Amino acid sequence: MTPTTVDDTLFASVDPPRLAGSRCGNCGTVTFPVQSSCAKCTGSDMTTVELPDRGTLWTWTVQAFEPKAPYRVPASGFTPYGVGYVDLGEVIVESRLAGEPNGLEIGLPMRLVLLPVWPDSSGGDVVTYAFEPEGGAT
């Protein structure tokens, strides 16, 4: 069964996970998430595209304290998690980082995965996108 996502417009496909962005028909700028106009050339000729599922870590941190609402605390309670920007070539995407946030460094090869964030109404998990190191979560 395809899991429920936090926002379907983020995804070009859920299985396998692929992010959706927009490409400007005028200047070629690629955005994430999809948007109806171009932040660079102000044009509105935007086409939805599938973004690469692999990239490199551009910068990162660890969310070490529990954020206030509207952050949704997981059912299992808050644990520190990684956050970063991943360079996908034509666009750099902000993302949760999956797994224990150890051994992260700028330039690390990363791949797209799904990350469960809170329960859905039927006992399954609602998922968001995340990136993890190519060698698997550390």
Partner 1 sequence: MTGVSIVGVGMQPFGRHAPDFTGMAMGVEAVRLALKDAGVGWADIGYAVGGSNVSGKPDTMVSLLGLTGIPFVNVRNGCATGGVALATAANAIRAGETDLALVVGFDKHARGAFAARPADYGHADWYAETGLMITTQFFSMKDRRYLHTHGLKDRLLAQVAAKAFRCGELNPTAWRRTALTEEEILSARVINPPLTQYMLCSPAEGAAAVVLARSDRAADMCDRPVNLAAVAKRTRRFGSFEVFAPWLPPDAGHSPSVDAAQAVFSASGISPTDVQVAQLQDTDSGAEIYHMAETGLCEHGAQQKLLDLGETAPTGRLPINTDGGCLANGEPVGASGLRQVLEVVLQLQGRAGARQVAGPPQIGFTHVYGAPGISACTVLTAGH
- With contact defined as beta carbons under 8 Å apart, do 37 and 6 qualify? no
Backbone Cα Rg of the chain: 16
Q: How far is the CB of 9 from partner 1 (least distance, A)?
A: 8
Q: How far apart are CA 86 and CA 79, in angstroms?
A: 22
Q: How far is the CB of 74 from partner 1 (least distance, A)?
A: 9
Half-sphere exposure of 28 (CA within 13 A, CB side): 2
The residues of the shown chain that bind partner 1, judged by CB under 8 A, are 6-7, 9-10, 21, 29-33, 39-40, 58-65, 67-72, 81, 83-85, 87, 89-96, 106, 117, 128
Q: How far is the CB of 49 from partner 1 (least distance, A)?
A: 13
Of 5 and 111, nearer to partner 1 (C-beta) is 5
